[in-house]
Each structure stands twice: as structure tokens, then as C-alpha cells.
Amino acid sequence: MSKDALQAVPGRQSGEGGPQDIGRDQLLESQDPYRAFARWYDRIFGPMNHGLRLLGLRLFTPKPGMTVLDVGCGTGAQLELYRRFDCKLFGIDSSQSMLAVAKSRLADAADLQLGNAVGLPYSTGKFDLVISMLSLHEMKPQVRIGAVEEMKRVLKDTGRILLIDHHPGPIQPVGGWITKAIVLIAEAAAGREHFRNYRQFMSIKGLPALAEMCSLSIIKSKVVGGGALGLLLLEKHS
């Protein structure tokens, strides 16, 4: 984790706590918010998410042999899509129940770990591609920044980061209104803390602002869902 990210972590300057502590706290606090929901996740969001995943693949198509990490891999649907490219696949998620679905889906095809994005258990410069889809918006602000800094750390200098998440708009009539309404219902239904984090993510203007905060350069971007969803392909500043 870089010095800047550490400074963004409250309590860090005063010497108390740190990213690992925040990560552990979040795991304890949340007590797996996906527990009752993991089995249904793909049935509910699968079709919409699949379209986004394909767009992500168009922004960056991996080459055989590449090392690919999915941060907040959930049920493993994203990694499953990358199997056909003969990549070495890694996934990490803080929800035991989501990871259980991913393990039954992917078996030995991916190295899956239970853990927190702010303390990735991988060596520096290991990955050609780091993906995170619909995960950053639900993290607390300081965890989110720590997570992106960790993605940078484990990324090769020539590597790419692909982020897919909610986008602050402008929202286009009529498709965007419908997508936005569905998003708001889903985010509110996910619980108070989740919704608070989502709103904070939108208030800072989502992924483009986060990329700038974390000194990442945008190579390609795409806004879909009538302005409600966005994809960014990023690299480290040279």
C-alpha cells in the first residue's frame, strides 16, 4: 500500500490502526452481508452483469498465460468468463458465502481466497490484469482507496486494471432512468451501510474520480446503462 493511501486511512497518521485493522473490522462488522443472498445473486443479477462482463472483455482481451486477479470476485462469474483465454486465474472476496459459490463453480480452475481487498495476499507486480466489478462502490471510502492502492501494488508495471461499477451520470432518458431506479432499489435493499457507501461513491463521482485520486491513467472508458454504469481500463502513471 502506498504512502498516499496510508495517509488516506483515518487514524493512520496518529499511529493507531492501519489497513489490516480496517479490513478486519469491516469483515467483522459486516458478518458476511451476502450470507442469505449468495445462492440467488447470479439468478437475480446474472443477465445484466453478463453484458457488462462482455463489454469489459472488449475493453481488454487477455492473452493466453496472463495472470488475472478479480478483487471482490463474488460468485466467480467474471473469472469463469476468462477461463477460455487460458489465463492463470486468481480471485479474492471477503464474503465466505459468495466465495463458496465461486469455489463450486470454478473448482481448480482458479486460486480463490477469502480475504480483504486492502491487504491482498499476493506479491508485488504479480498480475497482468486486475479486475474489480461492482465491488468498489460498496466499500467504505478509506477501504476503497486502500483496495485500489493494493491493486496497483500487485499489478505489473505493464499491467492493466479494469474497473466496472456504478456511474454518476448524466442519466439519459428513458433507459438510464430505469437502470438507475433498479440500481437504487438494489443498493437500498443491500442494507444501510452498503447504501451509505454507495452514496458516498456517487458523491465523489465514482470510478473516474477514484482513478485520479489513486494516480491511475485512463486508457479506455465506456459508459452504459443510460449513464448509470461505467467501465474504465487503467494503467499506472508512467
Ligand X SMILES: C[S@@+](CC[C@H](N)C(=O)[O-])C[C@H]1O[C@@H](n2cnc3c(N)ncnc32)[C@H](O)[C@@H]1O
Between 67 and 132, whose beta carbon lies closer to ligand X? 132
- Supply the DSSP symbol for 76: S
Between 1 and 117, whose beta carbon lies closer to ligand X? 117
Q: Which of 8, 87, 98, 210 binds ligand X (CB under 6 A)?
A: 98
**Residue nearest ligand X, Cβ-based:** 74
By rule CB under 6 A, what count of residues binds ligand X? 23
Q: Which of 19, 62, 72, 226 binds ligand X (CB under 6 A)?
A: 72
Q: What are phi and psi of 125, to 5 degrees?
A: 70, 30
Please, which residues bridge with residue 234 across strands? 161, 218
- Supply the DSSP symbol for 183: H
Q: Which residues between 146 and 175 bind ligand X (CB under 6 A)?
A: 147
Give, rounded to a whole angstrom, the gap between the first and last alpha carbons of the chain: 18
**Is 197 one of the binding residues for ligand X (CB under 6 A)?**
no
**Is 94 one of the binding residues for ligand X (CB under 6 A)?**
yes
Q: Which of 62, 74, 176, 230 binds ligand X (CB under 6 A)?
A: 74
Instruction: Kindly tell me the burial class for residue 201, based on how many C-beta atoms sit within 10 Å of its own C-beta (0-12, 13-18, 19 or more).
Output: buried
Between 111 and 172, whose beta carbon lies closer to ligand X? 111
**Is 139 one of the binding residues for ligand X (CB under 6 A)?**
yes
Least separation, in Å, of the C-beta of 136 and ligand X? 8
Helices (H) and strands (E) in the chain, counts: 9, 7
CA nearest neighbour of 236 among 122, 142, 93, 127: 127
d(CA 170, CA 96): 36
**Is 34 one of the binding residues for ligand X (CB under 6 A)?**
yes
Summarize as ranges the residues that interact with ligand X (CB under 6 A): 26, 34, 49, 72-75, 77-78, 92-95, 98, 116-117, 133-135, 138-139, 143, 147
